Amino acid sequence: MGNCCNYKITTYSVKDTKKLGEKIGKRLKGKIVLALTGDLGSGKTSFVQGLARGLEVPNDYYITSPSYTLINEYPGRHPFFHVDLYRLEDPVDFEDIGLYDILDDNYVVAIEWADRIRQELLPDYVTIKFEMSGDTSREICMSAHGVNSVNLLKEIKNRL
Ligand SMILES: Nc1ncnc2c1ncn2[C@@H]1O[C@H](COP(=O)(O)OP(=O)(O)O)[C@@H](O)[C@H]1O
Ligand SMILES: [Mg+2]
pLDDT, one tens digit per residue, over 134-145 is 999 999 999 999
What pLDDT, on a 0 to 100 scale, did the predictor assign at position 8?
96
Q: Is residue 48 a part of any domain in this protein?
A: yes
Q: Is residue 52 a part of any domain in this protein?
A: yes
Rounded mean pLDDT of 24-34? Answer: 94
Our answer on whether the CB atom of 149 is closer than 6 Å to any ligand 1 atom is no
Q: Is residue 152 a part of any domain in this protein?
A: yes
Q: Is residue 56 a part of any domain in this protein?
A: yes
- Which residues are near ligand 2, the ion (C-beta closer than 5 Å)? 44-45, 65, 112
3 has pLDDT over 60: no
- Atom 10 in ligand 1: which residue has the minimum CA distance? 14
Distance separating alpha carbons of residues 133 and 105, to the nearest angstrom: 36
For residue 120, the enclosing domain spans 7-159
The residue ranking higher by pLDDT, 124 or 130, is 130
Our answer on whether the CB atom of 44 is closer than 6 Å to any ligand 1 atom is yes
- Report how far ligand 1's centroid is from the alpha carbon of 34 (Å): 18
Task: Output Rg (C-alpha) for the chain, integer angstroms.
Answer: 14
- Binned at pLDDT 50, 70 and 90, residue 1 comes out as very low
- Atom 18 in ligand 1: which residue has the minimum CA distance? 45
What pLDDT, on a 0 to 100 scale, did the predictor assign at position 98?
77
Distance separating alpha carbons of residues 16 and 45, to the nearest angstrom: 13
Of residues 33, 107, 116, the one with CA closest to residue 74: 107
| Proximal ligand: closest to the CA of 84 | 2
Q: Is residue 84 a part of any domain in this protein?
A: yes
What pLDDT digit, counting tens, does each position of 83-127 carry? 998 888 766 666 677 787 788 788 999 999 998 887 777 878 999
What pLDDT, on a 0 to 100 scale, did the predictor assign at position 102?
85
CATH number of residue 117's parent domain: 3.40.50.300
Q: What residues contact residue 137 under an 8 Å CB cut-off, 6+ apart?
A: 10, 11, 12
Q: Is residue 1 a part of any domain in this protein?
A: no
Q: Is residue 2 a part of any domain in this protein?
A: no
- Atom 27 in ligand 1: which residue has the minimum CA distance? 14
The residue ranking higher by pLDDT, 30 or 65, is 30
Of residues 93, 129, 102, the one with CA closest to residue 113: 129
How many domains does the chain contain in total? 1
The residue ranking higher by pLDDT, 107 or 65, is 107
The residue ranking higher by pLDDT, 56 or 70, is 56
What pLDDT, on a 0 to 100 scale, did the predictor assign at position 2?
45
Question: What is the model's pTM?
Answer: 0.94
